[in-house]
Structure 1
Amino acid sequence: MLLCSRRVYFIFLFFIGLPPATAQEPIDEYMPELSLKALLEIDIAGAAVRDLGLGQAIKTANPFELSAMQLPLSVEVINSRTMRARGLKTVTEAAEHLVGVISGESPAEPSSFSMRGFIRDSVIVLRDGIRLGPASMTMRPHNTFNLQQVEILKGPASLHFAAPTASGIINMITKKPVIGQESATELFGAYSRFDSSEWGIGRSGPVTDKLAYRVDINRAASNGWVDDTDSYSFNITASMLWQVSPSLDMLLSFDYLDDDLPAYWGTPLVPAPFSREPISGIINTDNGSVLDQQLRFNNYNIDDQRSDSEHLWSKITANWQPSSRVKVKNTLFHFSADRAWKNAESYVFNPQTSLLDRDRFFVFHDHQFYGNQLDINIEHLLGQVEHQLTIGLDYARTDFERARGFPDGDSVDPYQPVAGLFGPLDKRLSPTKIDEFAIMVEDTVFLNDDWHLSLGIRKDFIDTTRDNFDENGIFIVEDSFKRTFKPTSYRLASSYQLTENLSVYGQFSTGHDPVGSNIYLVNANENFDFTDISQLELGVKSVSADGNIEMTSAIYKTKRENILLLVTHDSVGNSGSQVAKGIEFAASGRLSQNWRVGGNFAYTRAKYEDYLDPDFGVDASGNTPPNVPKWVANAWFSVNNIAGLPLELGGGVRYISKRHTNFENTVTLQDYMVVNAFAAYTLDKLRISINARNILDEDYAPWGDIFYPNQIGIAPPRAVELSFQTKF
């Protein structure tokens, strides 16, 4: 950790010490598209209602920069302007405002997501197009200040980055320097209830006419809305862009994160007769257990708890365009992380003692990850037919050492808990080494000006070595293994432009999930293979003739087969299936010069067709997967220039229908509606905002952690935030 911190310190000093910049030549066409006007624009009035951006090119899995209207898949973008206008401080909050996405913030699995009927590691999470591994094991909460935008691709729609998974991809894209821009500085600060604060500073500009830099620093901290749940996050993203020649540029970047998560593992369920003040409207249980208002803000964790991490990305990316029809992109990367959890995580009411029985669990990660991504993109003619060919070669090496232990627990009074200490650490080591190599080929054929067809295939070779040791450091032969996986994925998709402002598309795609969705946790007694995923999707995208209204809709059916199934009490294999069907819709409209409205909804029907859960031995056949609601809806409006003043008012409503927290479907989280509102005043280059979150003070539970069935994480109460933003 010390070495990591020193490296970031010197990076920070280097960028802060750069000389003042002066105006340079116009931005080169090969550089990222970001004008100086956009960089310095502080008037973000109306941005709270998100543009669907159908005429823009997304950055994720789009090497030929096709517009969103042309792409034969469901894709969404929320940019930094919209995230700032809505007061969205984390990637989790930003993703939840897109179509059909819900999430949870359990410290066990920060930023878990549910999309299109599948959850957790069925969602690939990327940082600038690179996947670390299973999100449930590697993901941390990330801020939005350091980001240019967040992009989501739904379903197994992309062959880039990794074997496609059932839910899709969430890609966090950090801010980058631009050749030719003048210097600019951005400042942001916010303060709200529970002593929650955040600040950010960004600086970008040229060093020479061929060299530009950018550095963004963000820190957030809070005392938490539950007792003794202090948290903080500190993130630096720094990069330097060198235009070596008109056809070659190189980007060196660093991304550092140091965080400590809130130690809130949920409020325990207790029998209704024991409860002093039952909370209604949050949860229904088959056994009559309830949540108690007098336990709502109690923390049942230990005094010396830990949920912290330190991460450092180092990347160098080369973009080379040897001709007008050939582009080559190569990214060499290294990632290192230390993560630590040491907590009392599970709280189970004991009817014999009327106490809460607490466990003890600790786990430490030493995570090293490095590799290379090479993409070759060629535009060419075969006869009179134009083709766009992409060839991808990926290699990655993972060294992941996991030390864990389960010391004896204790019991505490539900109403007057005594924190206590963790106890001894008797470690069991489980090092995992994974070598991944993949080749991807995709060809897009433009049959005419309006119709194109894409066919792609991806082949992965994954060599996995998993070792297990007991508390005494003795190698456990029967639990350790070596194995090579060779999943193959393919995709057939087509888009047709019916008119200039209306397109239809369809696609059939396949993909694979690792066993249990997390290859880092499997053992030799699990006779496993990768699951098989298939998806059929049809969609429509349209823009009104005047460009003021945008709409997208999609219907899909996704099936996952050969998922993990309990075979005996101590072994599992591949069997069972899960299916999800749904419809998604999004719209954005400008009603007048000052009025904007937008919204989206998703309807999902998901169930296990044949499934015996291996973690709990539960027959879930015919049941709905945990954390999958039938309905998810969002709506936003904004109006600016009120009474001729630079004043903007706006707000949003989010609705989530009922969903279950377990495979038995015996615990149900009730539907809820959250209302947010904001007011903002812009004066020259200063914007002052007031954001009211959960303005109706709704009590609700956003997520149920399947591994903690006896407790529920309740969302924070109403909070009002005052913030400012300026650029100069």
Structure 2
Amino acid sequence: MAGHEPPDEFLPELSLKALLEIDIAGAAVRDLGLGQAIKTANAFELTGMQLPLSVEVINNSTMRARGLKSVTEAAEHLVGVISGESPAEPSSFSMRGFIRDSVIILRDGIRLGPASMTMRPHNTFNLQQVEIIKGPSSLHFAPPTASGVINMITKKPVIGQESATEVFAAYSRFDTSEWGVGRSGPVGEKFAYRFDINRATSNGWVEDTDSHSLNITAAFRWQYSPSLDFMLSFDYLDDDLPAYWGTPLVPASFSQAPISGIIKTDNGSVLDQQLRFTNYNIGDQRSDSEHLWSKVIASWQPSSMVKVKNTLFHFSADRAWKNAESYVFNPQTRLIDRDRFFVFHDHEFYGNQLDINVEHLLGEFEHKLSVGLDYARTDFERARGFPDGDSVDPYHPVAGLFGPLEKRLSPTKIDEFAIMVENALFLNDNWHVSLGLRKDFIDTTRDNLDENGDFIAVDSFKRTFKPTSYRLASSYQLTDNMSVYGQFSIGHDPVGSNIYLVNANENFDFTDINQYELGIKAVAADGKVEITSAVYKTKRENILLLVTHDTVGNSGSQVAKGIEFAASARLTENSRVGGNFAYTRAKYEDYMDPDFGVDASGNTPPNVPKWGANAWFSINNIAGLQVELGGGVRYIGKRHTNFENTVTLKDYFVVNAFAAYTVDNIRLSVNARNILDEEYAPWGDIFYPSQIGIAPPRSVELSFQARF
């Protein structure tokens, strides 16, 4: 939010020599960032210790040291986050008892729309860090949702930094390869540039599930004067996702080799080892996309008391799915019944964000005020259809082809205007209170057309939503090394969490969310130990409910309570340990799911484990050599895959390990993922209850990193 962004927001402003001397050895156990100025949801550039929020950061060094190549992998190593990579909803997340579109996904602080419709897997090479804000605490990006915010922050140029190049390459099992090249440097005294390109390909661990992605980020910064700078940036993504939509459940009596330890079902269905690596998709399947972000950012600091930042942005995307997605065992024919579904997105999104920060004395107290004005326009055209499916042999499926495309169009136009006001009053050097308010005006026009392109008036509509969100919070620094905080926040989720899919016969409004949270943050006097902990209660009310066969309305509620804890410690100069755990108690109090008509009252929401934990260690400079060894273990408790809670994914442990050797500015690494070859399912897709996506087996990766 600053007029001239602090250098440590993206990359340190260092000489070339100092930059090249940065070593990621020991970074596998991340610092908790309590002394760092967090970018997300932080208008006043407070440190993690000062923020009255639950905030987490995982930076590029830690992601590279652990071999975390995707945002999904990086987020899963933070407190209480689980995710799935279903091609239907790439990079879906679950946090604090809420799932899917209750998690806001940002790219450099801008939200595209519901994550289930717009999210794609993203690499970490092009990123400086990933930040997470828990709960409905962030007012700046959209009406705050129940789970929180995940913000991917790309690498940016820094004025005054000497030229440097980064190179990365990796190869692992299933012919999986990835490479990246980054270059940054000055152009004269007032200009700087940054360019990063990442390419990844894989044959996949299931047959015929090739995938690839190409991500190019580029930015050019102009320091017009000491108080004014401009940045032009581009972010391009082209990808094709794996065609694996899951392994079908079959009766135990039919299975040739039942897999134990992954699932438990009320009807006795099992997963068959003979089907685990079989692909049931069609031969001409599609799950691809092409995205392009363009942004112009102007930052102006007319005085030491006033900072202004304006972001003008444009986004366009084409996405396509054409698949046999659902695989259901038919007990009469003993075949797998497959559906057909296609959907194409033509998505354009543009707008402007204006932020004004003022710091002054209010009487004898330091007062900080932030005012934000946002406008965004969405043009989203969705073409889809449901051709007839077919049936295939479970053990010898014939891929076949999709068939004819008969499209139905559903154009959606959304105009969003929002005003945000945040105040922070510093009552003394140790205590501050803050109040934030956000008011949204969201005009939605949804048209539905039939197969002939004719307008269907009864299914089309116009609505205006005016949700109001706010947050009251306070932080008190008990000592230089310990602070406590508390907050109460009000937020809103869109209907069904996805405003792109609602129809005219749905009598709906945004759901209401409230959260109470208390937390503590501490650093040992010598700085070797960091600890954070939080307790919270979040309630979501007026959830969409099925009222009649084809009509929905607002009613019902969902409650989540939990405890979160994270710690990081430097045991010796060359050894570190760290870990976290989350306990979540979530349930529907009164809820009738509108998609399936299931009464879920009293049940646990899908993909919400009661327990989740991570632990990591690293030891470097072993025997006086530039050798580092490290590893980690991840535990996720049992989860349900559906609203009835009739299919349960069992708990699992995953162990990873790495070894690295550094010489000069080159690092050679071996990363072993799922080293114990654990068979488990990380996620259950609620729309495909008859199949389960099984995690990949053990793999070993060789990687090379260099800076020069």
Is the structural similarity TM-score above 0.5? yes
Matched, 1:258 2:229: no
Alignment match, 1:457 = 437
How far apart are residue 39 of structure 1 and its match? 3.6
> What is the rounded CA distance, in whole Å, between the counterparts of 1:271 and 1:707 in structure 2?
20
Task: Report how many residues are paired.
Answer: 703
> What is the rounded CA distance, in whole Å, between the counterparts of 2:333 and 2:43 in structure 1?
62
State the SS of the aligned residue for 1:498: strand
Matched, 1:347 2:327: yes
Alignment match, 2:179 = 199
State the SS of the aligned residue for 2:116: helix
Matched, 1:409 2:389: yes
State the SS of the aligned residue for 1:512: strand
Q: Deviations over 1:51-104 (max 9, x none)?
A: 001011011121221100000000000000000000000000000000000000
How far apart are residue 474 of structure 1 and its match? 1.4
Does the CA-based 8 Å contact 1:586-1:599 persist in structure 2?
yes
Matched, 1:366 2:346: yes
Which amino acid in the other structure matches residue 294 of structure 2? S
Alignment match, 2:39 = 59
CA gap of 1:166–1:30, structure 2 versus 1, over 3 A, is: closer
Alignment match, 1:222 = 202
Alignment match, 1:16 = none
Alignment match, 1:86 = 66
Alignment match, 1:491 = 471
Give 2:211's match in structure 1, choosing from 231, 234, 242.
Answer: 231
Does the CA-based 8 Å contact 2:262-2:650 persist in structure 1?
yes
Q: Deviations over 1:637-672 (max 9, x none)?
A: 000111110000000000000000000000000000
Matched, 1:657 2:634: no
Q: How does 1:24-103 map to 2 (within 5 A)?
A: 34-36=12-14, 39-103=19-83
Alignment match, 2:253 = 273
State the SS of the aligned residue for 1:136: helix
> What is the rounded CA distance, in whole Å, between the counterparts of 1:33 and 1:89 in structure 2?
19
Structure 1 gaps of 5+ residues are 1-25
Q: Deviations over 1:441-499 (max 9, x none)?
A: 01000011100000111000000000001111111111110000000001100000000
Matched, 1:666 2:642: no
> What is the rounded CA distance, in whole Å, between the counterparts of 1:100 and 1:334 in structure 2?
33
* Percent identity over paired residues: 85
Which amino acid in the other structure matches residue 347 of structure 2? H
> What is the rounded CA distance, in whole Å, between the counterparts of 1:551 and 1:523 in structure 2?
47
Matched, 1:300 2:287: no
Give 1:647's match in structure 2, choosing from 627, 630, 638.
Answer: 627
Matched, 1:113 2:108: no
How far apart are residue 36 of structure 1 and its match? 2.4
Does the CA-based 8 Å contact 1:190-1:199 persist in structure 2?
yes
How far apart are residue 525 of structure 1 and its match? 1.0
Structure 2 gaps of 5+ residues are none
Give 1:134's match in structure 2, choosing from 108, 114, 117.
Answer: 114
Deviation larger for 625-634 or 469-478: 469-478
CA gap of 1:591–1:575, structure 2 versus 1, over 3 A, is: same
Give 2:139's match in structure 1, choosing from 136, 159, 163.
Answer: 159
> What is the rounded CA distance, in whole Å, between the counterparts of 2:655 and 2:693 in structure 1?
19
Q: Deviations over 1:548-605 (max 9, x none)?
A: 0000000000000000000001100000000000000000000000110000000000
Does the CA-based 8 Å contact 2:41-2:133 persist in structure 1?
no
Does the CA-based 8 Å contact 1:27-1:180 persist in structure 2?
no
Which amino acid in the other structure matches residue 417 of structure 2? F
Give 2:460's match in structure 1, choosing from 480, 485, 506.
Answer: 480
Does the CA-based 8 Å contact 2:352-2:374 persist in structure 1?
yes
Which amino acid in the other structure matches residue 351 of structure 2? G
How far apart are residue 40 of structure 1 and its match? 2.4
Q: Deviations over 1:2-58 (max 9, x none)?
A: xxxxxxxxxxxxxxxxxxxxxxxx999799551326642452111000100101101
> What is the rounded CA distance, in whole Å, between the counterparts of 2:103 and 2:450 in structure 1?
32
> What is the rounded CA distance, in whole Å, between the counterparts of 2:19 and 2:616 in structure 1?
25
> What is the rounded CA distance, in whole Å, between the counterparts of 2:657 and 2:308 in structure 1?
45
Matched, 1:436 2:386: no
Alignment match, 1:598 = 578
> What is the rounded CA distance, in whole Å, between the counterparts of 1:679 and 1:82 in structure 2?
14
Does the CA-based 8 Å contact 1:27-1:181 persist in structure 2?
no
Give 1:573's match in structure 2, choosing from 542, 553, 556.
Answer: 553
> What is the rounded CA distance, in whole Å, between the counterparts of 1:476 and 1:561 in structure 2?
32
Matched, 1:322 2:302: yes
Give 2:369's match in structure 1, choosing from 366, 376, 389.
Answer: 389
Which amino acid in the other structure matches residue 444 of structure 2? T
Q: Deviations over 1:320-345 (max 9, x none)?
A: 00000110010000000000000000
Does the CA-based 8 Å contact 1:28-1:179 persist in structure 2?
no
Which amino acid in the other structure matches residue 645 of structure 1? L
> What is the rounded CA distance, in whole Å, between the counterparts of 1:53 and 1:441 in structure 2?
26
> What is the rounded CA distance, in whole Å, between the counterparts of 2:161 and 2:607 in structure 1?
45
Which amino acid in the other structure matches residue 34 of structure 1? P
Alignment match, 2:657 = 677
State the SS of the aligned residue for 1:526: coil
Moved beyond 4 Å, runs of 4+: 26-33
Q: Deviations over 1:103-140 (max 9, x none)?
A: 00000000000000000000000000000000000000
State the SS of the aligned residue for 1:67: coil
CA gap of 1:302–1:484, structure 2 versus 1, over 3 A, is: same
> What is the rounded CA distance, in whole Å, between the counterparts of 1:65 and 1:428 in structure 2?
47
Does the CA-based 8 Å contact 1:31-1:178 persist in structure 2?
no
> What is the rounded CA distance, in whole Å, between the counterparts of 2:288 and 2:687 in structure 1?
20
TM-score, with length taken from structure 1: 0.96
Does the CA-based 8 Å contact 1:599-1:633 persist in structure 2?
yes
> What is the rounded CA distance, in whole Å, between the counterparts of 1:281 and 1:324 in structure 2?
61
> What is the rounded CA distance, in whole Å, between the counterparts of 1:214 and 1:287 in structure 2?
56
Matched, 1:613 2:599: no
Alignment match, 2:539 = 559
Does the CA-based 8 Å contact 2:473-2:485 persist in structure 1?
yes
> What is the rounded CA distance, in whole Å, between the counterparts of 2:56 and 2:22 in structure 1?
24
State the SS of the aligned residue for 2:538: strand
Matched, 1:501 2:481: yes
> What is the rounded CA distance, in whole Å, between the counterparts of 1:284 and 1:716 in structure 2?
20
> What is the rounded CA distance, in whole Å, between the counterparts of 2:217 and 2:191 in structure 1?
17
How far apart are residue 158 of structure 1 and its match? 1.1
TM-score, with length taken from structure 2: 0.98
Give 2:524's match in structure 1, choosing from 544, 554, 572.
Answer: 544
Which amino acid in the other structure matches residue 434 of structure 2? S
> What is the rounded CA distance, in whole Å, between the counterparts of 1:343 and 1:505 in structure 2?
49
Q: Deviations over 1:498-541 (max 9, x none)?
A: 00000000000010000100000000111010000000000000
